[in-house]
Amino acid sequence: MKVYISIDMEGISGVVDWRQIGEDRDWGDYARFRALMAQDANAAIEGALEAGATGILVNDAHGSMRNLLITELHADAELVSGSPKRMSMMEGLDESFQAVFLVGYHSRAGSTGVLNHTYSGVLADCRFNGVAVGELGLNAALAGHFGVPVALVTGDDQVVREARSLLGEVETVTVKQALGRYAARCVHPDRTRTLIRGAAREALTRPARFRPYRPELPLEVQLTFHESGQADAAELLPGLERIGELTLAFRAPDPLWAYRTVRVALRLAAR
């Protein structure tokens, strides 16, 4: 049984602010929080190993994607580090995996929750066939493209709510209760480690209850930006149509196509 772990940082135990999770905005906390990131990762890995996982691939999916120190990571896992990567937060995933864990995730742009956003700050809303999706939805759809279900989501209570509403049956761990975008009531990391480890083990003990997330194809994708200049720039990309003052739309034959197009559009818009 092969397990793929995509790990972000906003939903790691104790994190409530950008300054804790970006080396370029480090106020002295980054080293501590990247260590906590490794602890949440290792808890998920240990749970997976206890359930019989034989191969575990961890993809560092936050910012520079060089946050996890390989020496801090459990020796039975391999690490995908660095960026850019063709499949970004899901690089290295293919049909050979049986389950995806989304660890340290956050809620989507346009919702509430700690450090909510979707990829970059330019996006106000993203929809697949009219359904609002964030990084969780985009990455779950990409996993579904390869026939792999999301079995575990960890983060604040808002991303857990988003996961249940989008995916239905999924194992979850709430490591903090959001009190706003930059505040939360946090469970102690010693406690979240136990919870994540147990949930990972439980997820793989009964994996047949999880279904790959497969929105109907072709995908109708809508991207709404915060301001018109961002939409102007993203509109340079062929295939994107302006359907509103701040909104572009396109049709994608599959989630991988949608994923790559969204990422290029966001790169253009961020300029």
Give the residue numbers annotated as catalytic, written as ranges.
Answer: 117
In this chain, which residue has its C-beta nearest to Zn ion? 62
Provide the minimum distance between the beta carbon of 110 and Zn ion in the complex, in angstroms, as a whole number.
Answer: 17
How many CB atoms neighbour CB 187 within 10 A?
A: 18
Q: Is 263 in the site for Zn ion (CB under 5 A)?
A: no
SS3 label, residue 237: coil
Task: Name the amino acid, one letter, at 269.
Answer: A
Tell whether residue 117 is a contact of Zn ion (CB under 5 A).
no
Residue 24 and residue 8: Cα distance in Å, rounded? 17
| C-beta neighbour count of 54 within 10 angstroms | 11
Which lies closer to Zn ion via its Cβ, residue 155 or residue 189?
155
Q: How many angstroms separate the Cα of 104 from the Cα of each of 75, 128, 208, 261? A: 20, 23, 24, 25
- Closest approach, Cβ 106 to Zn ion, in A, equals 7
Which of 6, 7, 8, 203 binds Zn ion (CB under 5 A)? It is 8
How many positions of this chain bind Zn ion (CB under 5 A)? 4
Tokens 């049986």 identify what position?
98
Task: Write the interaction track for Zn ion spanning residues 64-103; mark x where CB under 5 A is met and - where it is not.
Answer: ----------------------------------------
- State in angstroms the smallest separation of the CB of 62 from Zn ion: 4
| Nearer to Zn ion among residue 66 and residue 206 (C-beta) | 66
Residue closer to Zn ion, measured from CB, 33 or 210: 33
Subset of residues 149 to 188 that bind Zn ion, contact rule: CB under 5 A: none
Please report whether residue 62 would count as binding Zn ion according to CB under 5 A: yes
Measuring CA to CA, how many Å separate 19 from each of 30, 148, 156?
7, 34, 18
In the complex with Zn ion, which residue's Cβ is closer, 8 or 91?
8
What residue has token string 């049956």? Answer: 169
- Considering only 57-65, 93-101, 196-204, 251-259, which stretch makes contact with Zn ion by CB under 5 A? 57-65
Query: Which residues contact residue 156 at a Cβ distance below 8 angstroms, ignoring those fewer than 6 apart?
Result: 11, 106, 107, 113, 114, 174, 175, 176, 177, 178, 184
Q: Which is nearer to Zn ion, 51 or 186 (CB)?
A: 186
Give 244's contacts (C-beta < 8 A, 6+ positions apart): 224
Give least dist CB 92 to Zn ion, A.
Answer: 17
Q: Which residues, listed in sequence order, are joined to residue 153 by a DSSP beta bridge?
A: 102, 172
Q: Give the range of 58-66, 81-89, 117-125, 247-255 binding Zn ion by CB under 5 A.
A: 58-66
Which residues, in sequence order, are CB contacts of 66 under 8 Å at separation 6+?
60, 81, 82, 83
Tell me the closest approach of the beta carbon of residue 49 to Zn ion, in angstroms. 25
| Residue 42: both structure tokens together | 């290792």
CB closer to Zn ion, 20 vs 98: 20
Least Å from the CB of residue 9 to Zn ion: 5
- Which residues form the interface with Zn ion (CB under 5 A)? 8-10, 62
